[in-house]
Structure 1
Amino acid sequence: MPRTSESSTPRIVVDDVHKHFKLRHTHSIKETFVAAMRRKPLSSEFQALDGVSFEIGEGESVALLGFNGSGKSTMLKMISGVLRPDEGKVMTRGRVAGLIEVGAGFHPDLSGRENVYLNAAILGMSKQETQDQFDSIVEFSEIEKFIDTEVKHYSSGMFLRLAFSVAIHTQLDVLLIDEILSVGDEPFQQKCLARVRELHQQGKTLVVVSHDLDMVSDLCERGVLLQDGKLRFDGPSKDAVALMRA
């Protein structure tokens, strides 16, 4: 049975969630024609999530764990609202800020400054809130010299710095992180981890996806382990990591 939060007012509820994707087996009109002539299937369905249920309470830090193809990133996108379940429900309470893809929500032809306002608006910040936080956002990102440069000239590391900085300066209740802490140089990674820990100490809810098992077992108290789209384990993160390494 999945573990549920002891909180009477959970931040996240995942209730019997199913999600499948259609996988195409052809990449051109010619391949499609040949496959049809040979009566081969043109596509198949992949069950990414299969009846997953759990709750995350206010202030919890939870690692979504699993090997490639287990459904953890799909689950995180469900919680963020990027994807919707085919069956079941995903409900969140409060303001959710997601660091799911580096540079997602950035417009390449706009400057870093303009993208700060754009990204902040996407995350639900008002213009005044963004103005109040702007200097802190830029200072944390460490890209002051490039803030008025079009972001299409940014490296992936610069995307990371600015995207992370905007998200953590949002008045958030839930922070979602997908592998983003593994990008960039080590000093900035440590700075990001320190900030994430600080947010958790302030009572924010964290949901983290990462292949860095040592980092997530240290950062998160709880681990939700997915395998082949199903919930395999829900309990202490160190136990979840031990199961993955078994």
Structure 2
Amino acid sequence: MTNKSLIKAVGIAAGLSFVPASFATVVDIETTQGTIQVNLFDQSTPKTVANFLTYVNEQSYVDTVIHRSVEDFVVQGGGFTFDGETLQPIDVNGTVDNEPEWSNIEGTIAMAKVAGDPDSATSQWFFNVGNNSANLDLQNEGFTVFGQVVSGMNVVEQINQLETCGDVPMVDFSDSDCTSNVTPTDANLVKIISITVSDSSTDTEDSVDKVPNIFEPITPTPDPGGDDSSSGGSMPLMLIGLLGLMRLFRK
């Protein structure tokens, strides 16, 4: 199998109720590029934090790959491992209700989801590298921000500055390697080594200056002509919740 192989979509299971094994506020996300410390908003986005901690406690994120990086936009992970040839989706527990309380400003962590389905987040998350409030606060009823980087934002930025093959950030892997379909190794990928709880208290959220999400529900205005089709605007963003097929490496 070559690196042209396609990754099959992850099925979105029915919604589940999540009960975390521990109720943490601060976690250390250790990557092959360095450690990122995140203060989780467990008080204001409890369902999302509980969902995230379920994967942490199950060690589902260990050895996963940072599979998407878009310059000055996002760095995304939490969805795939690498089997030596292709990215393989991790098992997901189900969907979690959207909790768009806080804005997608620089340095926050938020849940990825399927376009057109506000309550479709499962395991994948992303760091906002830039101020994406004007975009991601409004799309798909707002992307749920559930924490903020308190140290290690330089690591996020370092990952975001790596060369990419497709959207995948790569280490010591040239554009020529990518276009020539050279098979990468683990050393060429940015991987999650571990995510651990470093502060299990539940009262540190107030120490973070948060910005409210600017999404406001809008009541659709019926088309006087009775046409159900839509027009105008940009294509909705799918922060890889993956429906359909996706290529890991470009041709």
Coarse TM-score class (shorter-chain normalised): under 0.3
Report the TM-score, using the length of structure 1 for normalisation.
0.23
Report the TM-score, using the length of structure 2 for normalisation.
0.23
RCO (CA 8 Å, sep 6+): is it higher in 1 or 2?
A: 2
Larger radius of gyration: 1
